[in-house]
Structure 1
Amino acid sequence: MGRRWGPALAVGEQAGCVVIARGAERPGAKGPWSCSGVLLSRRAGLVLCHGGIVAPFLRAGASALQPGAGPPFLGADGCRDDLRLHVQWGPGRGPRAPAGLRGTLCTPPCSAQPAPRGPARARLLLLVSCPAFRASFERLFGGEAAEQWRFASGGPEPPAPPQEPEAEAGAWADEGPLLAALGWFALLSVEGRAEAAGGPRLSVAAAASLPKGAPLLACGSPFGAFCPDIFLNSLSRGVLSNAAGPLLLTDARCLPGTEGAGVFSADGELVALVAAPLCWRAREWVGLSLLCAADALLRAAAHALGRLGRPADARLLAALLPPEDGEAAIPIPLPEHGAAWVAAVLVECGSVWGSGVALAPRLVLTCRHVAPREAKRVLVRPATPKSSPVWGKVVFATQDTSPYDVAVVKLEENLSGVPFPVLASHFHEGLRALGDLGDPVCCGGGE
């Protein structure tokens, strides 16, 4: 990862942890449940993780987490008395670590690395959701357009997408209480407090200040508490793919168990927490993750702590936040890639969908597997907010046996407000390229 990711590596490893929830030991008892988390303060012992692992212990059941069921937070008294929580974190690479290991990957033998700390007991302070995140999620995925979307839950075994169309309704009729906790997070206090270790101080970035395409580093633990010696605080790079208010999208690989993991900027600031690591559309896996912006979530948590009579903890969370500047929560595009992302379009052909690039007012280039030759009509949706969808038809597609997966769509109307890219006439190995979630790729110069 090199020097560029040094700050993010140091903070991610200091802040990353795993949270385990279990109930009373009795025959037939389910669990334990585990997920990733973020140590907001080692000295104060405050940990933020996904709320899904606490959902099975709610006295009122998972229905208490549904939008409109009550306030956007629940105190610890809303959970059963048999809830037991533990937090496990790594030693990190603090100032006393060998110089050759600070801020680097594990290129020496792993035996040279200190072992993860044993689990420490913790208690629940509150469950909190970000109302703006929930509103954005309901707006984007709550209508008929969400029928073909399925999200992994916060549990240890996310459901698999159905294999047959007729089985879809039954297979997804009951995804369990953990999926109902999407957008809910749990704030914990480690008993005895976590170690007062040295290292970088955690700070939170204003999600609205990050440009679309900004590099991100996710630090989480795939499969939760399973085998922390190898999975604890695993790293994955990606970019800020898109945003709708505090609901962020990234292509950083986040596997089941990384719910609640911290996602950091290259400067080492906490940008977001993982809300859902995997999703499917039309029984096809989509390698994207939903994030909840950390600044919006911590503001909601600080407000809830104040309402619950914990002003000291509320002030501690507020101290992590960036100052509010009143900017609109809409990430700006990267200047060097502005034309590339605006020229990208969404191509829909029945239940099949993919990306395309607008080459001319009525010409779109995409892939044959997205818009095959036999397709009668194709719908193209521009990225610009004020542009309307345009229908078109496939006028060229390579043969199925061809090594080139290319199709050309001619539109019935002109695309408006789209800057068309200049076609590259030459390129060489190592040239920076930008793709828009899958298909056409533009080089770094905007060609």
Structure 2
Amino acid sequence: MPPLRFPAVPRLCPGCHRLRFPAVPRLCRDATASGSRQSPVCARDATASGSRSPPFVPGMPRPQVPASPPFVPASPPLAPLPQGTVGQLQDSGSVQQQLLGPVKELTWKYPEMPVEPTSPPVQFQLREPVSVSSVAATCDENMVHVQVKKDLFGSGELIRASDISLGGCGVTGEDSVAQLLYFQSYLQACGSQVVMTNDTLVYSFSLTYIPTAASNTSAPIVRSSGAVIGIECHYLRFHNVSSNALQPAWIPYAATKIAQELLVFSLKLMTDDWQFERPSNVYYMGDLIHFEASVKQYNHVPLRVFVDSCLVTPYPYAASAPSYLFIQNHGCLVDSKLTGSSSRFLPRTQDFKLQFQLEAFRFQQGDTGSLYITCVLKATAAASPTDAEHKACSFVGQKWAGAGGEDQLCSCCDGTCGSRKARDLTSVSEVSVGPVFIRD
């Protein structure tokens, strides 16, 4: 702070009294800067100290004493604010800011969640359920017989007999070895419904399966779905009957002979396990079509059935073209030799049945996507020996083999098989199957 300057005092003549001026207060120094204690005089000015004003002398100008300025402690110059300082520091805060140092900007943030690594793409294809044939039905004159596999869905899970019913009627029999359930009902019982068409009478039944939780466990779960399977029995409304109202009580010999010769042949498409008739006639290229030829014996002597020939056409009549004769020459299945396929006769297990398989194909020209199979079936007494016209031969392993072990009779399949002896009892019938749809 600069010192106060007063105007020069004029010299007095001898004998004159000296003028007295009030004492000038001593200037205070910055106690903080010098380190000395502050005097009490520094806190008071000339007016506040109680001193009187100097007397006024006429003819002399009153000395002009400047007023004491307010005390302001000296402070060192402030350093420039550092980069990133938040806000404006004022007054004492500036000193404190310099003493504490620069304030850093807040950089904390919430922690981020760790990112899970992505897994590589997985090659997966949902397995589609495969249809199974686990129900078979036979319709008699006045009853229906139903056979059900315990493995109803083909998944290995066996159903309980108490969970399945035929129109509300329970199981009438069970085979624990073959894992089969049996139902038997009259056509008008077990909730059947009858529908009449122009040509037929149709009796419909519902085979209902409702799974329940096992009684020996507390888990309220089931591992199979419910199902309702429809069963129908079709009967022709019109038959050719005799007009004779009276039938004799005895059967003449001639009538017995005619009854023996009227045999019932059948050719059916079978499931892969040969247990049931196949409910679908749709196949894909490369599939094996399973056929079962049979003859009903009734009261006849034991019979043995043969497939004499089989012709395939794309249309329902046998004279259509193109055509393919895959069984010929009295029971020689030539498809495996001509095309190298897996077609063959299966080993014979029963005389009145003969099973064979044909690998699915389509005609190169005139293809309609469907096949019609017409076979000529023959039946002879089971006691009669086989011959060149009564055989079942397959070309397996580059040689001919018989379904019943008659390999020596199959050698003629490469040539012409003729009759060796006459038969006393032989019945012949032509049976057709179709259409069979072949898809790519």
TM-score interval, smaller chain: under 0.3
Larger radius of gyration: 2
Q: TM-score, normalised by structure 2?
A: 0.24
* TM-score w.r.t. length of structure 1: 0.24
Instruction: Choose between structure 1 and 2 for higher RCO, CA contacts under 8 A separated by at least 6 residues.
Output: 1
